[in-house]
Amino acid sequence: MIRKSIILFFFSALLGVCAFSQQARLSLSSDFSLQHAFKKDQRYWSFGQTISAQLNLSPKDAAYIGFCYYSKGKVSNEVEAIAKSSATVPAQIAYTNRGEIGFKQMSVGWRHYLKGNYANEEWNLYGMLGFGLMFGSAKSTASTAIDTSLYNVPVLPGKGNFKRLTYDMGLGFEQPMGGDIFFYSEIKTFIPATDYPNKHLYVNDKAPLTAYLNLGFRILF
């Protein structure tokens, strides 16, 4: 409930600032994104795209909203199924669990130029801070058929969806290309603020924990 109130307040403040700004200019951005998940037992690579809009409220500050999506990353873990009863033979079964993880993310936040500004004709450096909502999917497959009525397993085979509230932060570099077009590169991270369990994810605690390298273009209108 507290997190929902914070997000609603953030959106309300953002809309209020946008409504009263007299010098706002709009920018649209799109990029290619390389993603790496580095949580232990859940490391993978994938790629995707980010589409975002920035409302430049002052030369140094902008509110942004963005959407990104990624291909499915693949993970593999050596795990064990443990018998529920001491009478079950064998008592343990070792097997490989193969998983696929993919997600889309909606983000809203603030961009501040540490060097330069949104229309600067030289290179710019900026930081980003915001909130996000992650919509994920998980698929889990066992290398050996396990009777879950007889064994406890660390992750259930099958498919499922999950959601995460995230804290988003990043650092970006911009170079003007002429004609109100800017090339940019960014490093970003989405840090899960919630960890609601999903039975098809082997790692649920503050996961997936991801970092990104983005390369793209921004157009100033």
| Position 14 confidence tier, pLDDT thresholds 50, 70, 90 | low
Residue 131 inside a domain? The answer is yes
> In 3-state terms, what secondary structure has residue 162?
strand
> What whole-number percentage of the chain has pLDDT above 90?
78
Overall domain count for the chain: 1
Residue 171 inside a domain? The answer is yes
| Position 2 confidence tier, pLDDT thresholds 50, 70, 90 | very low
Residue 213 inside a domain? The answer is yes
Residue 42 inside a domain? The answer is yes
Distance separating alpha carbons of residues 189 and 176, to the nearest angstrom: 25
H/E element, 217: strand 210-220
Query: To 5 degrees, how large is the angle CA 29–CA 35–CA 41?
Result: 155
Residue-level pLDDT at 206: 81
| Position 10 confidence tier, pLDDT thresholds 50, 70, 90 | low
> At 190, which CATH number?
2.40.160.20
- Pairwise pLDDT comparison (162 vs 14), residue with the higher score: 162
Residue 89 inside a domain? The answer is yes
Whether the predicted pLDDT of 166 surpasses 60:
yes
Q: Domain of 29?
A: 23-220
- Arithmetic mean of pLDDT over the chain: 90
Residue 16 inside a domain? The answer is no
Residue 74 inside a domain? The answer is yes
Q: Which residues contact 27 (CB under 8 A, 6 or more apart)?
A: 53, 54, 55, 56, 62, 118, 218, 219, 220, 221
Whether the predicted pLDDT of 23 surpasses 80:
no
Residue 211 inside a domain? The answer is yes
- Pairwise pLDDT comparison (18 vs 72), residue with the higher score: 72
Q: Tokens at residue 161, please? A: 């969806």
